[in-house]
Amino acid sequence: MTLQEAAFERARSSLDRLGLPDRLPALHAAGVGISRTVLGGSHSVAIYPPIDSLSPLDAATTLAGVDWGQQISLYVHIPFCETRCTFCHYTVDHVDVSAGGTTSGQDKVGRYLGALKLELAFWGSQLAATGTEVSSVYIGGGTPLILGEAALRDLMETLRLRFTIVPGAEICIEGSPLTITAPDGVAKLQLLKDLGITRLSFGIQSFDDTVLKYAARGYRRDVPIQACAIVSDIFENWNLDLIQGLYTGSPLETWDNLQQVIAIRPPHITWYHARFADRPQGHWYRMESRFAAFEDEQAILLGRMLIWQELAEAGYHQVDGNRFVSARPFIDPFKKIRTSMAKSLLGVGTASYSHAGSASPGGRARGFVLRNIADIRGYIDTVAAGGSPVATGIVMDPEEMLAASYATGLRNGRVENESLRRLRFECADLARQYDGLAVQLEGLGVLEAYSTDDGEAGLRLTDLGRLFEDETLSLFFSPAVKRKLGCPDSQERLTEPLGALGA
Ligand SMILES: C[S@@+](CC[C@H](N)C(=O)[O-])C[C@H]1O[C@@H](n2cnc3c(N)ncnc32)[C@H](O)[C@@H]1O
Ligand code: SF4
């Protein structure tokens, strides 16, 4: 038996031990199954409430009630890319960077950066007034590494000028294989390191040339291999994104990707599951002629088990269903902040998302979730005219806080502490609904009760539950959020996986 055959055999036996595929009909009936749609607007339950459930709000009134606390995490969005990938649903715009870029591309980027600096200056003075410090920075996109050296330097200097960044804070920036391997890539990375960037994150998605071609990534497998070599020479802490389940992907492709990734050994790996919105791969998924070239649920589960098993074998520690680290210090603090309400997050730039507490904690509003205008031109025009880019959001009342404690807390174990017990008391009806759902999911082997070392009761995903991690978390969206998203009932959602596309 070859190594590959033995690995596939082991992965099939692991699935078998979890009762798969036999248990799939019962899981589907409870709304647990591999879904191909974005969940509330995102390919992973990264934030709660999900962006598609937010409503227009009056920025001035809302911001007056916000308390950012003593420390925040800062997210800065750079919405430009040199490719427009066929699966990607982010707010991004294509910029031609060949031969220094077109004039209109440079204008667009320049105007955006001008508006961004105005917004950063606004928040800098607001936070200075309350003595709020920044404990981590994430410059994401899009592809921020598309910016030229002068713009990157200017952005970093602006951040340091406007905010008090605590010493030792992690400062992460996103790149891409094309920006890293471009003629000026090494110089930019070196500059960023000198400017205090501590971590680089970039997406490869796959090393398979056919998958890459249909994803419109603009490169073949040799480019990401070269990019990894460049990055690992400059940064100690870096992350590689891959996606399982893209068009023409297969368990065999996952196996080949694993061989390549393990040979490269990035300190942090994020291996997403492809979900589609109103983008080309979403349309292909609905086309009879193309549907068969997408992995079905059982192929996805086999691939996921291969990923877990082979990365564990290679010495990786699994952080959650999608994230793996070669050593514990490489766990990304920013991802934890995004998925928790415990610490404030300030998002700056178009489409960015923030959450913070309420200035009057005794009231019904326990916090706020806010999102900036999600179209680049609208963002630039509003900020340039002196307006606030905050456009949509939600008031976090006790029900939403309780929902958030499940929808984001379950990913790493939800512990029922004193403040959660108070929330349960305040929204007894919803608490009963969640208890019922938890009992049902425990019965199906998706969740399990556990207790912490200090005797507190917790609820967490089992290995079976982790295979459907984001889908299970989304079952705990609040009734109000589900109504906003127009969620069909669970069974309908699974038999018509793309029913809500483009809605
Ligand atoms: C902002 S991008 C990362 C940086 C850079 N733009 C790149 O692509 O190399 C964030 C990551 O989200 C993931 N992603 C984007 N769209 C996705 C989708 N529809 N399903 C699953 N993952 C997706 C990709 O792995 C991508 O690398
Ligand atoms: S995956 Fe990355 S490079 Fe591709 S469009 Fe999305 S943000 Fe841009």
* Cβ neighbours, 10 Å, residue 264: 18
How far apart, in whole angstroms, are the C-alpha atoms of residue 198 and residue 235?
Answer: 7
- Which protein residue's CA is at the shortest distance from atom 6 of ligand 2? 88
201 Cα to the center of ligand 2, angstroms: 12
Average pLDDT over residues 31-40: 93
Q: Tell me what pLDDT residue 455 has.
A: 82
Rounded to the nearest angstrom, the distance between the alpha carbon of 196 and the centre of ligand 2 is 24
Per-residue pLDDT averaged across 132-152, rounded?
Answer: 96
140, 75 contact by CB (below 8 A)? yes
Closest CA to 112 of 387, 351, 383: 383
* Section 202-230 average pLDDT: 98
Any idea which ligand is nearest the CA of 172? 1
List phi, psi (to 5°) of 404.
-60, -35
Q: What is the mean pLDDT of residues 203-222?
A: 98
Q: What is the pLDDT of residues 359-390, one digit of tens each?
A: 876 777 789 999 999 999 999 999 999 999 99
Indicate if ligand 2 lies below 6 Å from the C-beta of 86. no
What pLDDT does 430 receive?
97
Q: 334: pLDDT confidence band, cut at 50, 70 and 90?
A: low
CA 66 vs CA 59, 347, 359, 374, 400: distances in Å: 11, 14, 5, 21, 16
The token pair that represents 373 in the structure block: 């205008």
CB atoms closer than 10 angstroms to residue 164: 14
Please compute the mean of the pLDDT values over residues 43-63 and round it to a whole number: 90
Q: What is the pLDDT of residue 47?
A: 84
Residue labelled with tokens 């379950």:
410
Cα–Cα distance for residue pair 120/309, rounded to 1 Å: 44
pLDDT band at 443 (very low <50, low <70, confident <90, very high): very high
pLDDT of residue 191: 98
Average pLDDT over every residue of 68-87: 96
**pLDDT at 341 (0 to 100):** 65
> How remote is the CA of residue 106 from the centroid of ligand 2, in Å?
19
176 lines ligand 2 (CB under 6 A): yes
Ligand 1 mean position to 324 CA, how many Å?
A: 16
Which ligand is closest to the CA of 202, given by its number? 1
Q: Is the dihedral of CA 62, 64, 68, 72 positive or negative?
A: positive
Higher pLDDT pick, 359 / 300: 300
Question: What count of other Cβ atoms lies within 10 Å of the Cβ of residue 137?
Answer: 25
Give the mean pLDDT of 17-28. 97
Does ligand 2 lie within 6 Å of residue 237's CB atom? no
> Scanning the structure block, which residue is given the tokens 């939600």?
394
Of the pLDDT bands very low, low, confident and very high (cuts 50, 70, 90), residue 456 is confident
Spatial distance between the Cα atoms of 471 and 482, rounded to a whole number of angstroms: 13
Band (339; pLDDT cuts 50, 70, 90): low
Q: Give percent of the chain above pLDDT 70.
A: 92
Ligand 1 pocket (Cβ < 6 Å) reads: 43, 81, 87-90, 140-143, 174, 176, 202-203, 205, 241, 243, 272, 274-276
Nearest to 175 by CA among 221, 238, 226: 238
Distance of CA 240 from the midpoint of ligand 2 (Å): 13
What 3-state class would DSSP assign to 102? coil
Over 80: is that where the pLDDT of 487 sits? no
3-state SS, 433-459, equals HHHHHHHHHHHCCCEEEEECCCCCEEE
- Establish whether residue 143 lines the binding site of ligand 2, counting it when its CB lies within 6 angstroms of any ligand atom: yes
140's tokens: 């994401």
142 Cα–ligand 2 center, Å: 5
- Distance (angstroms) between ligand 2 centre and the Cα of 217 equals 8
**Is the CATH number of domain 74-124+134-334 1.10.600.10?**
no
Q: Which residue from 88, 139, 146 has its CB within 8 A of the most atoms of ligand 2, so it is best to mutate?
A: 88
Least distant ligand from the CA of 269: 1
Which position has the token pair 């409430």? 49
Residue nearest to atom 4 of ligand 2 (CA): 85
Specify the range with the lowest mean pLDDT, choosing from 12-26, 83-97, 204-218. Answer: 83-97
Long-range Cβ pairs for the range 250-256 (8 Å, 24+): 250/295, 250/299, 250/303, 251/8, 251/295, 251/299, 251/302, 251/303, 251/306, 253/206, 253/208, 253/211, 254/303, 254/306, 254/307, 255/4, 255/7, 255/8, 255/306, 255/310, 256/207, 256/208
Query: If you measure from the C-alpha of residue 392 to the centroid of ligand 1, how many angstroms do you get, rounded to a whole number?
Result: 24
How does strand 80-81 pair with strand 71-78?
A: unpaired
Using CA atoms, how far residue 79 sits from 112, 146, 183, in Å, is 9, 10, 22
For the chain, which residues make up each domain, given as ranges?
74-124+134-334
- C-beta of residue 481 within 8 angstroms of C-beta of residue 53: yes
Q: Which of 346, 338, 354 is nearest to 392 (CA)?
A: 354
Expressed in angstroms and rounded, the spacing between residue 463 Cα and the centre of ligand 1 is: 25
Distance CA 474, CA 441 (A): 13
Range scoring the smallest mean pLDDT among 168-172, 182-186, 328-332: 328-332
Can you give the pLDDT at residue 488? 61
Minimal-distance CA residue to ligand 1 atom 26:
203
Closest CA to 241 of 261, 255, 221, 216: 261
State the distance from the centre of ligand 2 to the C-alpha of 91, rounded, in angstroms.
Answer: 9
At position 44, the amino acid (one-letter code) is S
pLDDT of residue 454: 81
Cα(403) to centroid of ligand 2, in Å? 30
- The predicted model scores a pTM of 0.93
pLDDT of 316 over the 90 cut: yes
CA atoms within 13 A on the CB side of 116: 27
Ligand 2, atom 2, residue with closest C-alpha:
142
3-state helix, strand, coil in the chain (%, to 5): 45, 20, 35
Judged against a pLDDT cut of 90, whether residue 6 lies above it is answered with yes
Q: Map residue 261 onto helix, strand or coil.
A: helix
Q: What is the atom index within ligand 2 of the atom nearest the CA of 82?
A: 3
Q: What is the mean pLDDT of residues 404-411?
A: 93
Q: What is the pLDDT of residues 272-298, one digit of tens each?
A: 999 999 999 999 999 999 999 999 999
Within 38-102, residue ranges assigned H as helices are 59-64
- DSSP label of 266: -
| Mean pLDDT of the residues in the chain | 92
For residue 378, say if its preceding peptide bond is cis, omega within 30 degrees of 0: no
User: Three-state DSSP class for 373?
Assistant: coil
What is the structure's pLDDT at 105?
A: 66
Measured by CA distance, the residue closest to atom 16 of ligand 1 is: 88
In the DSSP assignment, the letter for residue 487 is P
Cα(43) to centroid of ligand 1, in Å? 9
Euclidean distance between CA atoms 289 and 496, whole angstroms: 17
Confidence class of residue 329 from pLDDT cuts 50, 70 and 90? Answer: confident
| Cα 122 versus chain centre, distance | 26
- CA 81, CA 143: separation in Å to the nearest integer? 5
Residue of 331 and 221 predicted with greater confidence: 221
Ligand 2 contacts CB of residue 350 (under 6 A): no
> What is the pLDDT at residue 370?
96
Pocket test for ligand 2, best of 38, 43, 81 (most atoms within 8 A of CB): 81
pLDDT score recorded for residue 328: 75
